[in-house]
Structure 1
Amino acid sequence: MAAKKNANKTSVKKQSVATPADKHLHELHGIYLPKAQHKEIRRFKRLYDEPSLHGTKVWRSSAVLMDYLLENPIRKKARVMEIGCGWGGLSCFMASHFDSRVTALDADAALEPYVEFVKSLNGIKRVEFVTKRFEKIGKKDLAGVHTLIGSEICFWDEMTKPLFNLIKRARDAGVKNILIADPGRTPFLNLVDRCEAAFDGEMLGHTIKKPWKTEKFILRVTGK
Structure 2
Amino acid sequence: MAAKKAHKSGYKTDDKNMHILHDIYLPKAQHKEIRRFKRLYEEPSLHGTKVWRSSAVLMDYLLENPIRKRAKVLEIGCGWGGLSCFMAKHFDARVTAVDADGALAPYVEFVKALNDVKKVEFVTKRFEKITKKDLQGIHTLIGSEICFWDEMTKPLYNLIKRARDAGVKNILIADPGRTPFLNLVDKCEAKFDGEMLGHTIKKPWKTEKFILKVSGR
Question: Under a length normalisation based on structure 1, what TM-score does the superposition of the two structures give?
Answer: 0.91
- Residues 14 and 32 of structure 2 are in contact (CA less than 8 Å); yes or no, is this contact kept in structure 1? no
Equivalents in 1 of 2:59, 2:37: separation in Å?
A: 26
Q: Is 2:163 aligned against 1:140?
A: no
- Residues 195 and 201 of structure 1 are in contact (CA less than 8 Å); yes or no, is this contact kept in structure 2? yes
The size of the alignment, in residue pairs, is 211
Give unpaired runs (5+ residues) of structure 2: 1-5
Equivalents in 2 of 1:216, 1:75: separation in Å?
A: 24
Q: Is 2:117 aligned against 1:93?
A: no
SS in 1 for 2:15: coil
Equivalents in 1 of 2:86, 2:28: separation in Å?
A: 17
1:181 alignment partner AA: A
Equivalents in 2 of 1:54, 1:21: separation in Å?
A: 22
Structure number having the greater helix percentage? 2
Equivalents in 2 of 1:36, 1:21: separation in Å?
A: 11
1:15 is displaced (CA, Å) by 3.6
Residue 6 of structure 1: aligned partner: none
2:123 alignment partner AA: V
Equivalents in 1 of 2:41, 2:187: separation in Å?
A: 38
1:47 is displaced (CA, Å) by 1.1
Q: Is 2:178 aligned against 1:185?
A: yes
- Residues 16 and 123 of structure 1 are in contact (CA less than 8 Å); yes or no, is this contact kept in structure 2? no
- Residues 16 and 120 of structure 1 are in contact (CA less than 8 Å); yes or no, is this contact kept in structure 2? no
Residue 189 of structure 2: aligned partner: 196
**Displaced runs of 4+ in structure 1, greater than 4 A?**
none
Residue 200 of structure 2: aligned partner: 207
Over the matched positions of the two proteins, sequence identity in percent amounts to: 84
Alignment of 1:130-169 (within 5 A): 130-169=123-162
Give unpaired runs (5+ residues) of structure 1: 1-13
Residue 36 of structure 2: aligned partner: 43
1:25 alignment partner AA: M
SS in 1 for 2:205: coil
2:47 alignment partner AA: H
1:16 is displaced (CA, Å) by 3.7
SS in 2 for 1:23: helix
- Residues 154 and 160 of structure 1 are in contact (CA less than 8 Å); yes or no, is this contact kept in structure 2? yes
Equivalents in 1 of 2:7, 2:186: separation in Å?
A: 44
